Every structure is written in C-alpha cells, then in structure tokens.
Structure 1
C-alpha cells in the first residue's frame, strides 16, 4: 500500500495519544534491536496483517513478519505506530 495512503488512514482514524502517559519499552540497546522483545510486544496485536506507520513518507500494510522487519529497519526514523486492519475500520 502507498505510504501516503497509510499516512492519510492514520491521520483519519488513529487517536491522539499523550506520549508522556505511556508505558515505554526500549527495544533498541547498545547491542542493536531486541527482536524478541519487539516480537513479544507485537504478539498482543490481533490478526496477521498490520498497518505500520513512521511518518508521511514511510508506512505500509504488511504481514506480521514483514511488519517486524519494517520496524527493525526504520527504528529511529519517526514515531512508529502499528495497528491491525480491524482497528483502522477499513
């Protein structure tokens, strides 16, 4: 899916979040990305395909493993948000 389309969908349906009130997990360490921790965090999401969004030019609709790879590749390039198709009400 076109990244600008993903950006438009996120802007339309994703709720505003007060980041100061969030619980944070650091998936990036001096040894690199902690893929297993990231996999555990994503395991709480239903479905097999996810919308992944980092910024207006960087986002996609991907299967679970590809979404994990996308996050690993683009970590630090924006605020990465992930959700399932049902949440986005498409």
Structure 2
C-alpha cells in the first residue's frame, strides 16, 4: 500500500482526536522510543498483526506489527504518527512530543476494498 493510499484512508476513516478526552502515555524519553511501552499499548488497543501507519502524507504503509514499531522509532518527533488496524476499529496516535494514546470504536463506514493491496516490509 503506497503512502498516498494510506493518507487517503487516514483522512477518510481515522477519527478526529480531542486530546483532553484521552489518557496519554509517555512512549519516548531521552534514550528514544520506549518500545515495550508502545508494544503494550498497541497490543491492548490495536492487536492486529497488519497495521496501517502514517507518519505524514509521504511516509506510510500497511506493515506487520514489528515494522510498524520500527517505523515509529525511526520517525518519532517528525510528525504525529497515526496507526490503525485494517478495519479502522483500533486507533493509536504518537505525537511528535513523545506521548501516545489509543482507543477503539466501531467504524461501520469503513468498507475498504483491500483486494489489490499488499503488505510492504
């Protein structure tokens, strides 16, 4: 899945976030990404093995969980990173400031055709 497709999907199906309504967790410290904290949050909120990740409109893809965590580690601080499952029912945001939050919701509008989509590694 190319970054343009990811950006389009995120614009259509990723909900707007009101920061005051969520509990935030510090996932980046002076040593970098706290992988275990991010992995735990992802496991709780977005347990799928294939994740859609968008750093910004030119960097994104549908990748396996390990690649998603590596992508966050590489690009943290460069933008607000959004992560969702293929059905857009689990959502996670890592802000450039190094905090993250996640939530789930039913997204009945997300009738997405993935027939021609492949996972990029």
**TM-score between the two structures when normalised by the length of structure 1:** 0.90
1:9, distance to aligned residue in structure 2 (A): 0.6
**If the length of structure 2 is used for normalisation, what is the TM-score?**
0.69
2:26 is aligned with 1:26: yes
Residue 21 of structure 1: how far off its partner (Å): 2.5
Alpha-carbon distance between aligned partners in 2 of 1:13 and 1:52, rounded to the nearest angstrom:
13
Query: CA separation in 1, counterparts of 2:77 and 2:4?
Result: 19
What is the Cα-based RMSD across aligned positions, in Å? 1.3
Aligned to 1:10: 10
Within 5 Å, which residues of 2 pair with 1:1-90? 1-44=1-44, 45-87=46-88, 89-90=111-112
> Mind listing any 5+ residue stretches in structure 2 that lack a counterpart?
89-109, 113-121
Structure 1 unmatched runs, 5+: none
Bigger helix fraction: 1
List, as ranges, runs of 4+ consecutive aligned residues in structure 1 with deviation greater than 3 Å: none
* Larger relative strand fraction: 2
Cα distance in 2, alignment partners of residues 9 and 38 from structure 1? 23
